[in-house]
Amino acid sequence: MFKLTKNKNRKSSNRWGATAVEFAMVTPTFLIVIFCCVEFARISMMRNLTQNAAYEAARTVITEGSTNQDAIDQANLILSRFGATAATIDVNGGQAIGFDTPSVTVRIEVPMSENSLVFPQLYNGKSVVAEVTLNTERYRGFFDGGVSADTSN
């Protein structure tokens, strides 16, 4: 049977120097790993938020009476909740949404260099892009084109 005992010849105060050196060597690597995890989590959240903002903006303008500015306002509202800045929002390629518009496309581009917390220099020229196309819900006219409802019965 083995018995674990302390080495009485070695004092615990002799290990402080080794512990300090080990701490100094491990801490920078550990902090870099932590910051990278935070940055990748933010990128993932930014990607999901951008996709959600594009979808909600498209949903806002698929009904009759909505304008491109309504979509831009809705997208900016959602993006501002996360603190995203410098986003480029494009609705239908800049064409106005009218009664005959069959579908609406919202494209949002968020530059990562402007929205990074830890390493913005790594993302120069990189962006998170989301694009959503939805069919409009405008009424194309049961009562249009000379068809009328007969209510005499």
Nearest to 43 by CA among 130, 128, 114: 128
pLDDT at site 64: 83
Residue of 74, 106, 77, 105 whose CA lies nearest to 89: 106
- Would you say residue 26 has pLDDT above 90? yes
User: What percent of the chain shows pLDDT beyond 70?
Assistant: 81
68-82 and 16-61 helices cross at what angle (nearest 10)?
Answer: 160
CA angle 66, 69, 70 (to 5 degrees): 50
Class of domain 16-135: alpha beta
Domain positions in the chain are 16-135
pLDDT of residue 2: 62
71 — pLDDT class (breaks 50, 70, 90): very high
pTM for the whole structure: 0.73
Rounded Cα gap, residues 73 and 60, in angstroms: 10
Two tokens at 130? 């989301």
Closest C-alpha among 116, 134, 115, 127 to residue 54:
134
- For residues 97 and 63, give the distance between their C-alpha atoms in angstroms, rounded to a whole number: 10
Q: For residue 143, what pLDDT is reported?
A: 46
What is the amino acid identity at position 47? R
More confident residue, 29 or 1: 29
C-alpha–C-alpha distance, residues 57 and 67, integer Å: 11
pLDDT at 142 over 50: no
**Paired sense of beta strands 88-91 and 103-111, if any:** antiparallel
